[in-house]
Amino acid sequence: MNKSSADILLVEDSEDDTALFVHALAESHPSTQIQIAQDGVEALVMIYGLGQPESSPPIIRPKLIILDLKMPKISGLEVLRILKSNPNTLSIPVVALSSSQEKFDLAESYRLGVNSYLVKPMDFDKFKVAVKILISYWLAYNKPSKQ
């Protein structure tokens, strides 16, 4: 690991959803650092650099990756598959944050090893509560792997 990692890596292609997430995070956890990847390709480059995503060690190691599923180029499910099939990144917690409640997306995410699945609430107040609980749990309460 040769780059400093932020606490959270948010992989989200929607500018609006990113802004709302950042706003909600700033309100509940102002000191939490966040890095943003605007699509799956950018996320993989950020994590693995120019190495092979399937086998390389990560160059950043966020405490939590928040992953949108519906993204152009490489989908969230594909990013998830790579993260969880590479032994070097397997233990990084990944939370899917999606507007999809599709059975397939849910089942496939869990099959690929997602640590949690959150449906983006329509109401912003509920969204803020969800972000607050989510970040508190994974950054403060959850005991991460030593790797």
Instruction: Name the one residue in this structure whose structure tokens are 């089942």.
Output: 107
Question: By C-beta, is 24 or 47 nearer to another protein?
Answer: 24
Helices assigned H by DSSP within the chain: 15-28, 40-48, 76-85, 103-112, 124-135
Under rule CB under 8 A, which residues in 62-81 are in contact with another protein? Answer: 70
Under rule CB under 8 A, which residues in 99-118 are in contact with another protein? Answer: 99-100, 102
Q: Can residue 140 be called a binding residue for another protein (CB under 8 A)?
A: no
Question: By C-beta, is 103 or 146 nearer to another protein?
Answer: 103
Residue type, 65: I
132 CB-contact burial (10 Å; exposed 0-12 / middle 13-18 / buried 19+): middle
Joined tokens for residue 127: 């969204």
Task: Report the sign of the C-alpha dihedral through residues 67, 110, 120, 140, in that order.
Answer: negative
Q: Which of 123, 143, 145, 146 binds another protein (CB under 8 A)?
A: 123
CA atoms within 13 A of residue 74's CA, in its CB half-sphere: 18
Task: Give the nearest distance from C-beta 3 to another protein in angstroms.
Answer: 31
Site string for another protein, 3-42 (x = CB under 8 A): -----------x-xx-xx--x-------------------
Residues that bind another protein (CB under 8 A): 14, 16-17, 19-20, 23, 70, 99-100, 102, 120, 122-125, 127
